[in-house]
Amino acid sequence: KKTLKIASIPGDGIGKEVMPEGHRVLEKAASRFGFDLQFTDIEWASCDYYQKHGDMMPADWKAQLQSQDAIYFGAVGWPDTVPDHVSLWGSLLKFRREFDQYINLRPARLFEGVPCPLAGRKAGDIDFYIVRENTEGEYTNLGGVMYPGTEREIVIQESVFSRFGTDRVLKYAFELAKSRERKHLTVATKSNGIAISMPWWDSRADAVGQDYPQVKIDKQHIDILTARFVLQPQRFDVVVASNLFGDILSDLGPACTGTIGLAPSANLNPERKFPSLFEPVHGSAPDIYGKGIANPIAMIWSGALMLDFLGQKEAHDAILNAIEQVLKDGPRTGDLGGKATTVELGKAIAGLI
């Protein structure tokens, strides 16, 4: 029997509430489809750990995780106790970089039974992928403050776009678009205002696109692109974006499909040199933590993406079917307009596998 070794990191806030539901559903899928899951539960990469140890992770974190097939991650961040840039650069952003998880794949899909905030949209009208660059771009620690504390204070924060890093995410997005029926790729840009990096980004899209004559390229400035997510979401198939643009689009996309409580993500190292990481798009949600009402679907769907990446496609499909079924006529959490608890939703989904 095949055994998949999974590092399980709940993190902070509702990460700790949705993780057990992820385990529940994945275990059920494993027993049905004949493989074993060996979870290693990890309490570091959390703000609780930071408060005890003065650091987010132990020194040998990389070795501990490298031996795993994948990382299943809840959410990190508790701004009341640890500044967000400290907790995130000390954990999640370190994983993405040091494990070279350069693709952040984030689907947005409107399901039957989920109230859509956009008028007149029905299930199937919204079904696209955001491919977010995940290791460079606007997310850097390069820069500094000059003349701090004075009226002449100047803050500089650099962005970094390498040809290597840009071409590989574009290539991934073109491949994904090519594999889909509509073969349509939206390239998020801002080449009017961001006058160095973004015209260059566009030129790399054209260069990489040479190898994909089947794929239609649609370059859009990020400002109108966000407007079209709301006004014409059916127009999108695959959207490729820099780190920051992709971050923003990947909360907006799922919000257009009803709730960010559904939205999963796969932080991939496609070469499999390092473990990939699977996590909800949402954060630790301090405003609802402790009530047991967080939607566990983002966590569960992320787990399904993880099983798919690890070769268990049937298990992925069964979990997704169960999610669809529950959204259609099962219990629902508050963000979906219902009163069900996190555990009730997890159990309902597990019960359909």
User: Are β-strands 264-268 and 103-109 bridged in parallel, bridged antiparallel, or unpaired?
Assistant: antiparallel
Interface stretch with Mn ion, choices 53-61, 174-182, 246-254, 326-334 (CB under 5 A): 246-254
Among 107, 275, 283, 346, binds ligand NAD (CB under 6 A): 283
Q: Which stretch binds ligand NAD (CB under 6 A): 1-9, 107-115, 288-296, 303-311?
A: 288-296
By CB under 5 A, which span of 117-125, 134-142, 244-252, 269-277 interacts with Mn ion? 244-252
Q: Phi, psi (5° rounding) for residue 200?
A: -65, -45
Distance CA 132, CA 272 (A): 18
What does 249 bind: Mn ion, ligand IPM, ligand NAD, none (CB cut-off 5 to 8 Å by kind)?
none
Looking at the Cβ atoms of 247 and 335, the one nearer to Mn ion is 247
Please identify which residue in 247, 279, 324, 335 interacts with Mn ion, judged by CB under 5 A: 247
For 58: left if phi > 0, alpha if psi spans -120 to 50, otherwise beta; the answer is beta
> From CA 25, how far away is CA 276, in angstroms rounded?
20
Structure tokens at 90: 């000390």
End-to-end CA distance of the chain: 20
Q: Which residue's structure tokens are 């994945």?
A: 26
Instruction: Tell me which of ligand IPM, ligand NAD, Mn ion, none is bound by residue 288, counting a contact when its beta carbon lies within the kind-specific cut-off of 5 to 8 angstroms.
Output: ligand NAD
- Find which of ligand IPM, Mn ion, ligand NAD, none residue 282 binds, CB within 5 to 8 Å per kind: ligand NAD
Task: Pick from 90, 261, 264, 346 the residue near ligand NAD by CB under 6 A.
Answer: 261
User: Which range, of 24-32, 64-72, 284-292, 316-324, touches ligand NAD by CB under 6 A?
Assistant: 284-292
Binding to ligand IPM in span 276-305, by CB under 6 A: 281, 283
- Across 190-229, b (16+ Cβ under 10 Å) vs e yields bbeebeebbeebbebbeebbeebeebebebbbbeebbeeb
The Cβ-side half-sphere exposure at 24, using a 13 Å CA radius, reads: 19
| CB closer to ligand NAD, 279 vs 344 | 279
Tokens at residue 235, please? 């127009």
- Residues 309-348 binding ligand NAD (CB under 6 A) are 335
Binding of Mn ion at residue 133 (CB under 5 A)?
Answer: no
Is position 84 an interface residue for ligand NAD (rule: CB under 6 A)?
yes
Q: Which stretch binds ligand NAD (CB under 6 A): 22-30, 200-208, 229-237, 291-299?
A: 291-299
Residue 311 CB, nearest distance to ligand NAD (Å)?
25
Sheet holding 216-221, edge to edge: 35-41, 2-11, 70-75, 276-280, 264-268, 103-109, 127-133, 238-241, 184-189, 216-221
Nearest to 42 by CA among 88, 91, 1: 91
Count Cβ atoms within 10 A of the Cβ of residue 144 and give its class: 0-12 exposed, 13-18 middle, 19 or more buried: exposed
Whole-number Å distance between alpha carbons of 148 and 30: 55
The two structure tokens encoding residue 19 = 């993780």
Binding mask 227-266 for ligand IPM (x = CB under 6 A): --------------------x-------------------
Options 93, 110, 177, 288; binder of ligand NAD; rule CB under 6 A:
288
Q: How far is the CB of 34 from ligand IPM (least distance, A)?
A: 33
Interface with ligand IPM (CB under 6 A), residue from 88, 123, 160, 194: 88
Interface ranges with Mn ion (CB under 5 A): 247
Could you list the residues that contact ligand NAD (CB under 6 A)? Answer: 14, 75-77, 79, 84, 88, 92, 260-261, 279, 282-288, 294-295, 298, 335
Chain positions contacting ligand IPM, by CB under 6 A: 77, 88, 93, 247, 281, 283
